Amino acid sequence: MNPHQPHIEIKKEISGGDFSTAGQISSELKNILQQAGLPPQFIRRVVIATYEAEMNVVIHAYRGTFSTSIYPDHVEVILEDEGPGIPDVDLAFQEGFSTAPPHIREMGFGAGYGLSNMKKCSNQIEIQTQVGKGTKVMMIFYLDQTQGNSSVSNK
């Protein structure tokens, strides 16, 4: 097998505001990673971050696309959405900061830990956002924790 070619690729659509299917993509990814025999701690990191990213699309955007590529030594995840964008990425990374409306908070979501959890769980994260257009989040998770550096890039 070519280590530079993904073994598995997944691409799914996410509907903004559809809480009935929220979390299904990250749950499906968890099952695939388990079937691949990857370590539980690694799977946990990937699933926490992808769940947070998936929920951000459901909570904040009109629609989005979830793409993942699974390689022998790492997993790459890209979420792109059409939504309001993030006006201040640095502020959005602060734990507890949330722009979720009250009705979302009453449902138990929008506590303001999504981006910070994504950063903690991934080895690399990059966010490209444009207010009024949408956001693209790219995350890489390495099996070998010494790779990557939990870097954050905002373009």
pLDDT in tens, 46-98: 999 999 999 999 998 999 999 999 998 999 999 999 999 998 888 888 887 77
pLDDT higher than 50, residue 10: yes
Q: What pLDDT is stored for residue 100 in this prediction?
A: 76
Query: Which residues, listed in sequence order, are joined to residue 124 by a DSSP beta bridge?
Result: 140, 151
- The better pLDDT of the pair 4, 38 is held by 38
Nearest alpha-carbon partner for 138 in 69, 61, 40: 69
pLDDT (mean) for 5-16: 85
Q: What pLDDT is stored for residue 1 in this prediction?
A: 47
* pTM: predicted TM-score of the whole model, two decimal places: 0.86
pLDDT (mean) for 125-138: 95
Q: What pLDDT is stored for residue 105 in this prediction?
A: 73
Query: Which residues, listed in sequence order, are joined to residue 116 by a DSSP beta bridge?
Result: none
Q: What pLDDT is stored for residue 147 in this prediction?
A: 61
Q: What percent of the chain lies above the pLDDT cut of 70? A: 86
Mean pLDDT estimate for the chain: 86
pLDDT higher than 70, residue 148: no
pLDDT in tens, 12-30: 999 998 999 999 999 999 9
Residue 18: C-alpha distances to residues 2, 32, 134, 136, 145 (Å)? 38, 23, 18, 19, 34
Range among 21-25, 113-117, 137-141, 142-146 with highest mean pLDDT value: 137-141
Where do we find the tokens 């890209």?
78
The structural domains of the chain, ordered by start, are 8-154 (3.30.565.10)
Q: Output Rg (C-alpha) for the chain, integer angstroms.
A: 15
